[in-house]
Structures are given as C-alpha cells and as structure tokens.
Structure 1
Amino acid sequence: MVELVTKNQNQLLAQQAIELIIKTGCEYGDIRICCYRNQNLGATDLSLNQLSDNINSGFGVRVLYRGAWGFAANSVITSETITKTVARAVEVAKGTLLSQRQPVRLAPVEAYIDSYVTPILIDPFSVSVGEKAELLLSINQGLLSYQDQGVKKAYGFLRFNREEKIFASTEGSLIEQTLYRSYGGYGCTAIANGDAQSRNYELPPLNQGYENINKQDLLENVERVATEAIAKVNAPDGPSGITTDLVLLPTNLWLTIHESVGHPTELDRVYGYEANFAGTSFATTDKLNKLQYAAPWINFKADRTQPGGRSTLGYDDEGVPAQEWDVIKDGILVDYLTDRETAHRLGRGSSNGSSFADSWSSLPMVRIPNLGLEPGSDGGSHTASVEEMIADTAEGILIDGIGSFSIDQQRRNFQFGGDAFWQIKNGKVTGMLKNVTYHGMTTEFWNKIVAIGPESSWQQWGTNMCGKGEPMQIAQMTHRCVPALVKDIHIGKHV
C-alpha cells in the first residue's frame, strides 16, 4: 500500500514538473524520478569481505530552451523541490544558449502512457543475505580444497540491482519501468614456479531475478576452474610476434564486439561529442551504407527487446520504445546507435532508442544497447561448430574468457587478452598456454572471420561496467554472440 501511494505521488509530481516546464516557454522538457537498489556481496577465501545494500533516489529535469539544453537534479522529491529544480534547469538552458553554436533539434516521438517490468521468477531481494553468503563461501571452500596443488586464493561475488523510474515529457508521455538485474561469478589464483595465474567463471549478467544464479551450475564448475588455474600457471607462455588462427568463444568475443563495433557506432561519438574524453570513431557518416566493416557473412544486430538482455527494457530514457535494428548487415555498416538529438542530425525520422542515464542526477546520452553477432545459417559454407573450427585449424589458439584490453581513440587499432588459452595443432587441442594477447585493426579483423557458430551456440555475455562520459556514467549491455574462427591474427605476449 505504501509503495502504491508513493508511485501515485511521484506521478503527480512528474505531471507538476511538466506543467511548470510548459509554462516557461521551453520547446521541450522531461523528468525522470528514479529509485535504485544495489546489493553487492563479495567473498575472499573463507570470509565475506563485502556486503552492501543501498537505496538511492532522486529526480532529474531536462529542458530545451531555444535549442539549448538545461539540466538540474535533486535528491529530495517534493513539490517544492520540483518547482525549484525546474526553474534551475531553465536557468541553465538560458546560460547555455549564450555559447550554443547550433540549436539542438530532436527527432519526433509519439506520446506513450505505459509501464514495463522485467519478467522475473524470483525477486533477488527476497532471498536472504545468509543464503547468498553461504553459496559464495561454499564455492570458495571447494576452490581452496586444491591448495596442495597450487590454488592459493579464492574469490566470488553476487550483484543484484533494481531500477525503478517514472518518465514524463511535455510531449505527453508518462512511463513507469522497473528493471531487475542479477550477476554472479568466482575465480581462483594458483601459484607455482614464481608465477601466479587466475582462472574465472561467471554467469552471464542478465536482466533476470535470482533464477539467474544457478547454484548447481556454479558448484559443478568448481573442480574445472581450480584444475585449469593449476594447469595455466604451469603452462608455457603463448607465442609472440607471429600470426596464427584463433577460435574465439563467446565468453571472449563479446568484449571485442563491445569495443570495436559497439562504441564506434555510437552516433554521439561519431559526431565528436566524446572527443574530449573517450575518443571519436573511424566509422563516420560518409561511410554509411558503404564501409565493408566485416566479412559478407557477418551481421550485427542491436536489440533492446532481447529476453534477459542487460540493456533490455520497455523504453529508453527519452521515452522511445525498445526496438531492434541492423547495425552491420552482410558486412556493411548500415546504421548507428542514436538518441533523439543525433537521429535528427543524421536526418532520421526517429531515434532507435539508445538513450540512457545511469542515475537521476545524470544526463541521458547514447549508450550501446544489446548488440550481438548473429549466428551463421545452419549448413552454410561459413557456419561451423567449435569442434569443426578446431578440426579445420592446423595451427592456432582457442581463447575463453576476457583479460586485458586496449583500443585507440578512434576504435581502429586494438589488443585483447583472455582468461584461458589452449594451443591447437593439426586440428586438435594439445594443451594450455598463458600470457596471450591478439592484436588487430577493427575492419581488418572482422573481415578475417571465416566461420561463425550456428544458432545453437548463441550465448548471452556482456558487461555491467561500461564507462562513458565526463563525469563518468556506467551502463550495462549484452553482446549475444556465437563462436568465431579468425585467420592470420597477430599474437603478442601479455606482460
């Protein structure tokens, strides 16, 4: 009953803000009233060393006055602070107008009166902290049972989020959303011969409830993780300064997609809005529908409707409905990730709903949605299982998990590591390696992919820690993908 009253009150306050914005003469305005709950547990060895459960709420008002943005926020949600914050946002817009080079224009969007809740089976906040802690400590105890063989450190984590927000705009939208996210994983470090190496295992970070924390799966992988950490620390270093073939599992490939396909196609980055902090992009608009970004059998699709996707929701933070669209089609760059401002600048009639703010106190900006590598067509000449990729490789490396990475300001030149590596010789996996990185140029790399996995090998990996903006904002997204076989990639040693 209390929650219902609070929601009704917030709806009235949101409508109050919109009425005030309209009276100021602004051509556009919106408000987001948000409440976030974040619960994090961490365990090292046999101790629970992290436990936090925080609730954070407030609202942000954004206005467009004569083509200039103004924004103000407040952590106290009352009628009085709504009035003051709207006035402050308008004041900021008028100040911004003095240095505005070109007026901001927005692609149109329809008004929506709607609500959305992430489908979940088990509310993660209904499960006791004790049960969660017991799971982490049981996993660590299992990992540490391999101490005699070299495992010296064990660690694990569980993270849960609930995001509640009301969005209202001067265009008539009133949208309520509740998003749930869950994530968990663990790892261990083995020491031998003056070296230390880690092996990790994670569940995909998904928009799901506690059902995503599969206790049986986590416990069943403890032995494998421990023994692979031991094998890794005793393995030889990978080759350096050569080119070789790579079989990249989805656990590794998702990060390459994120950095070399996701960020370069954010249209605000393309237009230089991020040049002062996180760089620009080589994928400029003159290349649209022309650039051979990847091999002709490679397709990347953005999809904010994908079940379980970390960026899945009903509407973005500008009230634009979730949708799916092609970014790379048959290897060609065919679209970008847009908000209403960049969509208008590109000449589009609508945004594709890629606007997101990580807090009530943050301005929405273009963020990568769920962006994935589509599977190959079963039976196609460029479709193969991981086993077939390995069998087709005379000399190469199989890579699982993520490690170190870097990429230049324009997202052209990159290097990626991994969490585990196996040498392939004459179509067979022959043993583990360590300290491997691969290097490449974005379009060259994606054009060297000769085979991708079928739909049955699709996996939903992604991140909950994508940083962008100044001040920094954190977002999350899924990069559902299939395994890939890449030819003639430069390998270097990770130091």
Structure 2
Amino acid sequence: MERRDFIKLGGIGMGGLMLPMSGIAISAEQLLDKPMDVAYKKKLADIALNAAKAKGATYADARIGRYLNQFVRTNENRVDNIVNTESAGIGVRVIANGTWGFASTSNMTPDSVAKTAERAVAVAIANSKFQTTPVQLAPVKGVGEVSWQTPIKKNAMEIPIKDKVDLLLAVNAAAMENGANFINSTLFLVNEQKYFASTDGSYIDQDIHRLWAPFTATAIGEKGFKQRSGLGNPVGMGFEYLDGLEKDKIHVTGASVGYGNSYDILEDAKLAGQQLKAKLKAKSVEPGKYDLVLDPAHLMLTIHESVGHPLELDRVLGYEANYAGTSFATLDKWQSGKFQYGSDIVNLFADKTQDYSLGNVGYDDEGVKTKEWDLVKNGILVNYQATRDQVHMLGQKESHGCSYSQSWKDVQFQRMSNVSLKPNEKDLSADDVIKDVEKGIYIAGRGSFSIDQQRYNFQFGGQLFYEIKDGKIVDQIEDVAYQSNTQEFWNNCTQLAGKSDYRLGGSFFDGKGQPSQVSAVSHGCPTTRFNNINVINTARNV
C-alpha cells in the first residue's frame, strides 16, 4: 500500500483496526465498476509472457488482479466504520536459469507490463547465483481460454449499504434485548477478479466472492463479564447466506445453532444474549478427564491447526521454520506408510472444490485445476498439500492445486487447501454421538487456543460448554479448555455424526509466509466425539 493510501484509510478508522485489507479507498458504487475486458487482459498477459521468454525465461505466468473489499462495523446502536477498497495490477513470475523470479506493477500499460516481466527475469538470474537445485515443475496441460465464478445468487457488493447497516444494527438489538450489555458486529465482503495466463497455454478468468459476518457480545455480572461470539461461518457465497432464505437449520441438542447454506444471524444474536446470562451464572468446570463432543463450529479450528498446517509440505520441509514453525508430521512418517495419525474412523481430506467453501475455486494461482485428495485415510497419514514445484519431492507427478497469492503484487506460494473430516457413512445425528457418553462436555464455537511450533502439543477453548451426564446434555458450564497432542487426540476419536450433520467452518484471514500473506480456507466436519481428553479449568489455571 502506498503511504498516502494508508493515511487515507487510517483517517477513516481502518488503520487503527489493523485490517488485512489493502488498496485505495473508493466509493461503494465503484465496487460495481465493470472489470477490465477479458480480451485486453489476454493482450497484456501475452505481452508479459513474450517479454519474459525473450529475456531467457523457460517458464512464465502472469496474474492480472482486481481485488475489492468492503468492511462495515457497528457497535450497539451506531455505525463505527465503513470502508471500501480497490487494488489492481499485474504480477509476473518466471523461471530463468532454473530459478524463480517475480515482479509486479500497478501500471498496466503495455510498456510497463513488458518491463515488469523483464525485471522478473533479471531477479531470477540474480537469484540463480545462490540456487543449488533447479526448480522442477510438475507438468500442467494448458486449458486455453476458460472462466469460473463463485456460484452466488446475490452479489453482496450490490446490496445497499443501508440494508447492511440495518441488518447489523438489528443483530446488535437482538443480542442486547436478550441479555448482552455490549456488542459489535461486522460484515466483511471480498471480491477477487483474477486472470491467470502461462506459457503452458492457459488463460483463466475467475470471479471469486467471499463473505463473513462475525459479532461479539458481552454481558456483565457481579463477578465480571462473559463474551460469546457468533456461530456463523465465513463462506464462499453471496448475500443469500444472510438473507434468511433457503434455511437449513441444524439445532444441536439445544446447545447451539449451526447452519448449512444459510445463517439466521438474528436468531444467533438472540441466543447469544440468552446464553450470556446463563454463562454469568454457570458453574466452573472440574478439571479432569472427559469425553468431548465437539460441534463443527468448534472442531473446524482444531482441524485447521492440528491437521491443515502440519500437512503443508513447505512446513514439513522446514521452509516456514523462521516464522510459522515446522511440523511433527515429517516425511519419514509418511514414507513408512504406517504412521497412525488418528483412529481407523478418521478420514481427513483436502478439497478446493467444496461448494460454499472459502477455498472453492476452479483453478489455483498456478493454473492447476482444483481437486480432492486424501491426507489421512483410515487413520494413516497418506499425503500432504503441495504445489507444482514441490510434488516431485514426494515422487508425485501432479500438483495438488493449492497455490495462492493474496494479491497481484504478492508472489503465489503453497497455502492450505480446504481440509475436512469425512462424516460417518451411517447418517448418525449429534444426539447419537452423545448418547453413549457417561461423563463428558459438549463444546461449540471457536475460542482461544495455543499450539507449539510443530503443531503437536495444544490447548483449545471454545464459546459454549455443556456438561454431559449419562448420554444427556445437562447444565451449561464455564472455564473449559482441553489439552492434548495431535496424534493422541485424533487417535482418541471414537464416533462421528453422519452426512446430514456435516458443516463447514472457516478462517477468513489465515496468515503465513514472509512477507506475511493472508488466505481464506474452510474446514468441514460433523459433530465428533473424542474420549478421555484432559480438561483444565482456565479460571484456576489448572
């Protein structure tokens, strides 16, 4: 971001909120400006590819991007902030002398694009002095000219600001009328208009939409305060997720409300207020061993941290050690073919084609068609997440299609795919998962967590906690966190609900890399039981 743009955005409140959004501030109406003509994008891309080849590149790709964001934030009965941003430009990545090079520009004239490609080659040649092993790319067949769009029904950018503000203020009122003393609610909207071209012969135009509507409500009592965040999910959908149509409600034993392809945020806010009043009076948990029944709105984060990150191949190889850690799931464990990541009912898979997911795209940022593949099968570690220049290290010949860049000006690299837990083949309900539990705790919603640099030893909290006795949910309790390590935890997985209970959660701003980038990724799972897990009391710190 240019300094003047940062100051401009900071002046309207964005800088203080440290939002992972960049670009120049624009009006809401400008968000709907027509994108660049596809034919002109192809012309610019060809200029970049040809200029790179003329300077000695053996491979080149160009990404032309227009990235749009809208952010609306409210507190109680007032609007705190409304921000609209746009960022547009081209990034060119090349291989020359067996080495990667990258350059970018926001000046998309033919001459500027050609010079940017030449600069990328110069960077590669300079870097090649330090390259010991040439880059090896898995083959990708060019797909010609194709397009892909998130299957939205209502473009959220087209919904009037007033309607969005009215919805958020109604959410705040619903929470406060039912027990909350304070609440803030937010709406994040993202539209990525991305064009990818490569010397492999691909010209791919994609229009990607994402939406997230989080809130946090607070209630104050005699002994302090309690908070409850919304249980809705960030999604790869349009505004239809919030408009109350096509509801697919899933009420889990009265303890929480999760949704399939539609989210009644007003109902969730109402429940949040009621549950906050109960939180203020709830008894504190007794530390010890419990069987845990984890709602998808909670388990998604544990999957993200204990499966998604440790099975990123660049982390396994130590490429992320300086910033985001390493992984316990080393290559020797995978090569043995016997490493028991979880119990035999644990099947974890990666899939960037899941409907409504944050990672749902037709092609990744290397022009690879997205797909589904197994990571853990019947409890055994069978694969990782890798990109075109990594899969040869696994003896594989096809990229997994999980390359991503947060913008045109950042180089693409390996990012987490949607990583999910397969449901039970039997269509069991959440009640079926609970009914055999004698002493347990039901947990919904994501809370604070910590995990070590190898993604092995961890501790997770949540939003809502309910005691389970003799197969029934009874009282609401508080101050719960569980501790385990990844292998022990997943090997203690003893029951799963079925397909009708399967839901997607997600992370809208998952950080990685240096310089740091963010990406959006979803994780699906059903209600799941884990036996004999250590629970601590966070108030007593034991």
Q: Is the 8 A contact 1:135 1:215 kept in 2?
A: no
Quote the Cα distance in structure 2 between the aligned partners of 1:92 and 1:435: 53
Deviations, residues 44-76 of structure 1 (Å, cap 9, x unaligned): 111111211111111111111122111111122
From 199, 203, 212, the equivalent of 2:228 is 199
Q: Which amino acid aligns with 2:69?
A: N
Match for residue 173 of structure 2? Answer: 141
Q: Count residues with an aligned counterpart.
A: 487
- The verdict on how the C-alpha distance between 1:5 and 1:52 changes in structure 2, with shifts beyond 3 A counting, is closer
CA deviations 1:170-197 (Å, max 9, x no partner) are 1111111110111213231011123111
Correspondence for 2:292 among 246, 262, 276: 246
Does the alignment pair 1:305 with 2:353? yes
In structure 2, the CA distance between the partners of 1:355 and 1:123, relative to structure 1 (3 Å rule), is same
Secondary structure of the corresponding residue to residue 251 of structure 1:
helix
Q: Is the 8 A contact 1:438 1:489 kept in 2?
A: yes
**Given that residues 391 and 398 in structure 2 are in contact (C-alpha distance below 8 angstroms), is that contact kept between their aligned partners in structure 1?**
yes
CA contact (8 A) 2:231 2:297 kept: no
- Of 155, 158, 161 in structure 2, the residue corresponding to residue 129 of structure 1 is 161
Mean CA deviation greater in 266-275 or 422-431: 422-431
Query: Does residue 275 of the first structure (1) align with residue 313 of the second (2)?
Result: no
**What residue in structure 1 maps to residue 243 of structure 2?**
214
Does residue 279 of structure 2 align to residue 232 of structure 1?
A: yes
Alpha-carbon offset, residue 233 of structure 1: 2.0
Number of the residue aligned with 1:85: 116
Deviation at 1:3, TM superposition (A): 3.7
Query: Is it true that 1:61 corresponds to 2:107 in the alignment?
Result: no
Identity of aligned residues (%): 38
Secondary structure at the counterpart of residue 295 of structure 1: coil
Confirm or deny: 8 A CA contact 1:439 1:492 kept in the other structure. yes
Whole-angstrom distance in 2 between the partners of 1:408 and 1:237: 27
Are the counterparts in 2 of residues 295 and 331 from structure 1 also a CA contact under 8 Å? Answer: yes
CA distance in 2, matches of 1:108, 1:462: 31
* 1:11-410 equivalences in 2 (<5 Å): 11-113=42-144, 114-146=146-178, 149=179, 151-215=180-244, 217-240=264-287, 242-288=288-334, 289-378=337-426, 384-410=428-454
Q: Tell me the CA shift for residue 494 of structure 1.
A: 2.6
| Structure 1 unaligned spans of 5+ | none
Quote how far apart the aligned CAs of 1:6 are.
3.3
Instruction: Name the SS for the 1:281 alignment partner.
Output: coil
Partners of 2:423 and 2:499 within 8 A in 1 = yes
Question: Could you say what secondary structure the match of 2:510 adopts?
Answer: strand
What is the CA deviation profile of residues 202-251 of structure 1, one whole-angstrom value per residue up to 9, with x for unaligned ones? 422111111011347222233211110111122122223x2111010000
Conserved 8 A contact 1:375-1:454: yes
- TM-aligned CA deviation for residue 393 of structure 1: 1.2
User: Where does residue 445 of structure 1 map in the other structure?
Assistant: 489
Paired position in structure 2 for 1:462: 506
Deviations 1:141-197 (A, max 9, x none): 122224xx5x21012111111101111111111111110111213231011123111
C-alpha distance in 2 between matches for 1:403 and 1:201: 11
Query: Helix, strand or coil for the counterpart of 1:460?
Result: strand
Whether 1:9 and 2:30 are equivalent positions in the alignment is no
Residues in 2 aligned to 1:202 and 1:297: alpha-carbon distance in whole angstroms: 27
Aligned partners of 1:59 and 1:77 also within 8 Å: yes
Mapped to 2, the partners of 1:347 and 1:171 lie a distance apart of 22
User: 1:183 is matched by which residue type in structure 2?
Assistant: W
C-alpha displacement of 1:427:
2.1
Show CA shifts across 1:87-122 (max 9, x none): 211111111111122221111111112111111111
SS at match of 2:504: coil
Give the residue type in structure 2 aligned to 1:408: D
Whether the aligned pair in 2 keeps the contact of 1:184 and 1:202 (CA below 8 Å) is no
Query: Which whole-Å CA distance do the structure 2 matches of 1:58 and 1:425 have between them?
Result: 58
> How far apart, CA to CA, are the structure 2 residues paired with 1:321 and 1:287?
28
2:177/2:273 contact within 8 Å kept: no
Give the drift of 1:421: 0.5
Report the CA distance between 1:4 and its aligned residue. 6.7
Contact 2:493–2:528 (8 Å) recurs in 1: yes
- Aligned equivalents of 1:453, 1:103: Cα separation in 2: 47
8 A Cα contact 2:60 2:95, kept in partner: yes
Higher mean C-alpha deviation, range 335-344 or range 209-218: 209-218
Aligned mates of 2:483, 2:240 — CA distance in 1: 37
Match of 2:327, SS state, is coil
Q: CA RMSD in A?
A: 1.6
Deviation at 1:2, TM superposition (A): 8.2
CA–CA distance in structure 2, aligned partners of residues 491 and 302 of structure 1 = 30
Task: Give yes or no for contact 1:394–1:424 (8 Å, CA) kept in 2.
Answer: yes
Question: 2:35, 2:193 within 8 Å by CA — same for their partners in 1?
Answer: no
Deviation beyond 6 Å, 4+ runs, structure 1: none
Q: CA deviation at 1:389?
A: 2.7
Q: Distance between the aligned counterparts of 1:342 and 1:415, measured in 2?
A: 31
Checking the alignment, whether the CA contact within 8 Å between 2:462 and 2:480 is kept in structure 1 is yes
Correspondence 1:493 to 2:512:
no
SS of alignment partner, residue 309 of structure 1: coil
The answer as to whether partners of 1:21 and 1:170 remain within 8 angstroms in 2 is no
Shift of 1:123: 1.0
Alignment partner of 1:478 out of 513, 522, 537 = 522
Report the Cα offset of residue 8 of structure 1.
Answer: 2.2
CA distance in structure 2 between the aligned counterparts of 1:250 and 1:40, rounded to whole angstroms: 26
Residues 406, 414 of structure 1: 8 Å contact kept: yes
TM-score, normalised by the number of residues in structure 2: 0.87
Partner deviation per Cα, 1:289-325 (whole Å, 9 max, x = no partner): 3211111111011111111111011100000001111
Q: Secondary structure at the match of 2:437?
A: coil
CA contact (8 A) 1:203 1:212 kept: no
User: Against the structure 1 CA distance between its residues 65 and 135, is the aligned structure 2 distance closer, same or farther, given a 3 Å change threshold?
Assistant: same
Q: What's the offset of the Cα at 1:5?
A: 5.8
Q: Secondary structure at the match of 2:44?
A: helix
1:404 aligned counterpart, secondary structure? strand
Q: Which amino acid aligns with 1:386?
A: A
Q: Secondary structure at the match of 2:309?
A: helix
Are the counterparts in 1 of residues 459 and 481 from structure 2 also a CA contact under 8 Å? yes
SS across alignment from 2:190: strand
The one-character-per-residue Cα deviations of 1:404-447 (angstroms, maximum 9, x if unpaired) are 01111111111111011011122222211122111111011000
* Preserved contact between residue 236 and residue 357 of structure 2 (Cα < 8 Å): yes
Is the Cα–Cα contact under 8 Å of residues 161 and 182 in structure 1 kept in the other structure? yes
